[in-house]
Structure formats: C-alpha cells, structure tokens
Structure 1
Amino acid sequence: MQRLGYILWIAVARPLCSWFGRCRTNAKEVLAGGTSLFSEDISVGGQAVIEGVMMRAPKSIATAVRKPDREILIKSDPYIALSKRYKALNAPILRGAVAFFEMLFIGIRALNFSADVALVEQERAEKGADWKRPQGKKFTDGLMLVGMIVLAFALAIGIFFALPLFLTQVMGLSKNALSFNMAAGIIRVSFFLAYLCAISQWKEIRRIFEYHGAEHKSINAFESGEELSVENLRKYSTLHPRCGTSFLLIVVVLAIFLFAVADTIVEIMIGHRPTVLQRFITHFSFLPLLGGISYELLKLSDKKRNNRLLGRLMAPGLWLQKITTKDPDDAQIEVAIVALKSALEES
C-alpha cells in the first residue's frame, strides 16, 4: 500500500518535475570549487524518490538514496535523451510529448530502485544483516510493481480526467464547449489541490516533499554557478519555475481552450453534442499535443523568467510548489548534492 501511494504520486505529478531547460554554467567550477575558463551549456533536472533524489544530466542519470545506516547508495546509468539521439523527435511540441513519456519511464525506474533499497533494508533489519532477497521474490515483486503502476494510472485517469467530465455533464453544462471545459477544468484543479493537501499530511509523502525541496535547492545553486555544498545550498529557494507543479497548471488552463476547440470540431463532424465517452476519447487523444504545447510554454517562461508578464502568469505554479516542496534538512541536501554531482561527472 505504501509503494502504491508513492507510485500514485509519481503517476500524477513527479515525472513532470523533470522538464529540463538550458542553463549556462561553469560545470568544472561548480563540481570542484576551483577556477576554470571552461564553460558549457548543461541541462539538469531531477525528482525526489523514497529517501533520495534522482538527477539527470545530458549524458547520465544518477539516483542517490539514504539508507537507514546513513550511508548514501548511488545508482548511475548512462542515458541520452531521445530528442538528442533522434533529431526528428526534437521538433517543437513533439519533443514535449516525447519528454513526458520518457521521464515517466525514468521516474518509475528511479522510484523502483529507491523502494527496493528501502524494502531490502527493512528485511535485513528484521532478519539479519546477511539476509538476501530470494530470486523468485524479486520476480514476484516486479509483477506486483507492474500491477501497482497500472492501478495507479487507472486511478489518476479516473479521478483527474474522466470524473470531472462526468460531473460537468451531470451539472448540465454541455451546451457550450467553452463553458463545459471551463467547469471541468475548475473541478480538475479542485480535485488536484485537495489531493495535494491530503497527501501532504502523510508522513512518508512529506519526506518526499522535503527531498523535492532539496532537489530544487541543488538545481538553483547549480544554475547560479555556486559550488555545491550543504552550506551554500541552504540559502536557495525550494521553488523552481521549471517544476512539474507549474507545468500542471499550464496544462489545466490550456486544456480548457484546446479541449473546447476539439469538442467543437467533433460536434461539427458528428452533427450533435458529444457524449461524455466521446469527449473522454477526444480529450485523451489530444493529451500529447496538450503536453507538447505546455512544455514549450514552460521552457519559454524559464528562459524569460525576468519578464514581468510571464512572471505573473507563472506565479500560481510557484505558489502551488509551497505545498509540494518543504524545507529539507542538511542530510537531505547532501543526498541531492551527491545525486547531482554523480550525474554531472558522467556528462
């Protein structure tokens, strides 16, 4: 049940917190604290996992997890984004849709690694330090994970996507496409806010939010060209304009207008107002386009973060991050630094 809760959080929002913008910084100076004339564009992003942080750099992914004995376990893998490997996938809008599914896969893998560490350490605490997981149990755990992922996504789609459409239809707001989707959008935001507030009271999820804050602090420091140390990171904000929390608000607002256009097109084609099922199928098919456009808007807001108009438009997303990020302690900041340095060393 605990892992299902984590996966539901990952399924709804966490992969979206890994959208990467370009930042010019001196990588060698940040890593070593020395002086170097070498500088390059490096894209970094990450997400919080169970008692740890996953960080992604241009050529690698590193996940650092704090074990109960205070040791930090690191898993590092080479990885180059699909949009970098295949130029056709780097086209505007398309790259956003590709990045979403890519980060979903990477995020769940990182979560699974951190969950395995937690479960193994729990078993060793109960059965002795020499305990090793049986091979058959590992396979069974894998099947259970797949089942929980499917269940988590089914719940996420049902609660945050299908249910708002059904409730809006019941309210009798289907006569006008714009008003229908505006009402559905308001319901969707209300559900999401209630969901965030509810899970933020859960002790384990609050720990995730603290690691989320540590992740943001480390990226903010890195993008400022600061040497990565616990002392330096304390002063940085736990908020970041590229976070998936901001992305989700862009998606919800943009969905009102994009889905209204889609519903109007469908109504013209079939000659009558679409049913709830027809709306669901139409809206679901438009999700890649919605995600791609939202991704481009998020990248634009990050590049033009000093623009007053864009700053005001992005402010609600930053306010919402006050729920999904909490101030981390020094030990959590240390884990985020280890993850970021490990990812950068391979890039």
Structure 2
Amino acid sequence: MKVGGQAIIEGVLMIGRNVSIAVRDNKGAIVVEEISKKTPSSSKLFKIAFLRGIISLYYSLYYGIYALDRSAEISSGQKMKRSETIFSLLLAVALAVGLFLVLPVFLTNLLKFLKDNEFMFSLVEGLIRLGLFLLYVYVISLLKDVKRIFQYHGAEHMVIHAYEANEELTVENVRKHSTIHPRCGTSFMMIFLIISIVVFSLLGSLISLGLTGKVISRIVLIPVVIGFSYEFLRISARGSKFIKILASPGLILQKLTTATPNDSQIEVAIAALRKAIDEERNTNCKKDSEGPEFFG
C-alpha cells in the first residue's frame, strides 16, 4: 500500500487506507483525527493514465485545504470561520494563477524582439515562470512560521521512508531517514514547470497566438500539463538512473521546502501515519508496490 501526505499547521496529513491528521494542540498534546475514509484509490478514474494525475491532485488539494483549516483550529484552540477559509482559498488561487501563469506572459511580452518568434517567446516565458516560482519558495522559506511547516514536511517524508522500508515506526528508526522523497509535491511542481515549458514552446511553434490567446492557452492546458507531470513523477520514483537524473531538480528544491524536524514533530508524523494505515487493525499489513501513487 502506497501512502502520501502533507505538512499542515503544527501537524501532518497522511493518506493511506484512510485520510488522517495529527496536530500538536496549544497544550502540547497530539490530537489525531480521521477526516475521511475515502482516498483516491476508491475512484475508478485513478486507473486511467494521465487522468489520474488530475484526480490525485484534486484529492490532495481537497483534503489539504480541510486539513489546514482543521489544524489551525486545533493548534490555536480557536474556531475558524468558513467565510475566512473560502476567501483565503479564492485569494490563493487568484494569486497563483496571476503570479505563475499570467504575469510571465506579460513580462515576456515586454521583450519586443521575441514578438515574432512564438517558440522562443514560450521558452523565455517558461524560464521566467520557473524563476518566479524559485524566488517565491526561497522568500517564504525565510519566514519563521513557514520554517516550522517545512520541518513537519521533513518529518512526513522521514516517516514515510521508514514505513516503506518496513521498519517499526519509532522516533529512533525514523530519524535515520532522509527528508527528501521522490513523490513529493515539491518535485511535482518542479516537473510541472519544466513540462509546461516544453508544452507551451511546442504550442508556440505550431500556432501563432496573440497576448490574450497566450494567457487563455496557459490556463486551458493546465490539466494536460498536470497529466504528463504526474505520469513522469510516477516513473521517476522507480525509474531508470537517467529518468532520476531528469527528476533531480525537484529533489534539489526539496532542500528548501523541507527541514530537519525535532523528535516532537516526528512523533506527530508517526501518529498521523499510524492512523492513516489503520495500524491497530492491520498490524501485519504489507507495504507492497501496488495501488496508487500519492504525493509524499
């Protein structure tokens, strides 16, 4: 059974047989909750290549948003208003689309010498998009609160490594493992940005689009790029040495998005995974290679 997860506020979300979270509350206790019995593996669409990437990303975002909201409540001891969550989500989506899809097109359009070369326009635009993303990750990595989330991110990866190595989930065993994981959402984002450069450059070499057409095409083709990126992520996690070399930029980027956790944070990640794999009722479960690939 493959598992995956996400770092949340003072805790970790894990997806296995079910979807569970573990969060350290404001009194120092670990609160563990099962938030859903439904996972991507329950969808028949997950068996369809390229489409399963969109399905997996949907579930990751859906449960991730709920888990962030719930973890904020548990860690602070205060109830979150639904209207605040919806507004924050809409703002985040608008900023992401504006910063990483629309802005690179407008910045590249300022370079007049690229106006008549669609292929080079798309290539430069993609490099600008990649640069903006790397700058964004670097800037947020300097924030104190984000650093704690990155520590939980590292703890999540280390615990999954221990589980996949068929080791007992203890702090001592987990501590031996790396904070870098090949199925990480950070690697997916890097792969997404690189593949988007290829897709949009090829599109530019085939079709001449105006400024508005370029912006629309970037948004419309998001599902296509997601599909290709997810399949490459699956292959790179267990592929040849050459494929792993191609995927290495995402692993390198994880040096920024993960940090070495303390024992307290590892304990939280262990609690989340134990609940997600339903360890109490499945003490002899096999960590096989079948089933869907979740983001690590």
Q: Check whether TM > 0.5.
A: yes
1:233 to 164, 171, 174: 174
**Partner residue of 2:292?**
none
- Once the two structures are TM-superposed, the CA of residue 262 in structure 1 deviates from its matched residue by 2.9
1:126-141 maps to which residues of 2 (within 5 A)? 141=81
- Once the two structures are TM-superposed, the CA of residue 163 in structure 1 deviates from its matched residue by 0.3
- Once the two structures are TM-superposed, the CA of residue 89 in structure 1 deviates from its matched residue by 4.5
Alpha-carbon displacement from aligned partner over 1:85-117 (angstroms, at most 9, x marks no partner)? 342452100111121122111110110100112
1:42-191 maps to which residues of 2 (within 5 A)? 42-57=1-16, 59-82=17-40, 84-120=41-77, 141-172=81-112, 173-191=114-132
Q: Percent identity?
A: 40
How large is the Cα RMSD of the aligned pairs?
1.6
Structure number, greater radius of gyration: 1
**Partner residue of 2:211?**
276
Q: Is 1:206 aligned to residue 147 of structure 2?
A: yes
The unaligned stretches of length 5 or more in structure 1 are: 1-41, 124-132, 268-272
Kept in 1: contact 2:237–2:244 (CA 8 A): no
User: Per the alignment, do residues 88 and 329 of structure 1 end up closer, same or farther by CA in structure 2, a change over 3 Å counting?
Assistant: closer
Measure the CA separation in 2 of the matches of 1:311 and 1:197.
24
**Partner residue of 1:313?**
246
Kept in 2: contact 1:178–1:256 (CA 8 A): no
1:291 to 209, 213, 226: 226
Q: Which has the higher contact order (CA 8 A, sep 6+)?
A: 2
Alpha-carbon displacement from aligned partner over 1:20-49 (angstroms, at most 9, x marks no partner)? xxxxxxxxxxxxxxxxxxxxxx01000000
Measure the CA separation in 1 of the matches of 2:256 and 2:45.
37
Measure the CA separation in 2 of the matches of 1:112 and 1:247.
23
Kept in 2: contact 1:262–1:282 (CA 8 A): no
DSSP-derived class of the 1:160 partner:
helix
Measure the CA separation in 2 of the matches of 1:262 and 1:110.
37
User: Per the alignment, do residues 54 and 89 of structure 1 end up closer, same or farther by CA in structure 2, a change over 3 Å counting?
Assistant: closer
**Partner residue of 2:269?**
336
Measure the CA separation in 2 of the matches of 1:249 and 1:311.
13
DSSP-derived class of the 1:76 partner:
strand
- Once the two structures are TM-superposed, the CA of residue 261 in structure 1 deviates from its matched residue by 2.9
Alpha-carbon displacement from aligned partner over 1:163-186 (angstroms, at most 9, x marks no partner)? 001101111223223211211111
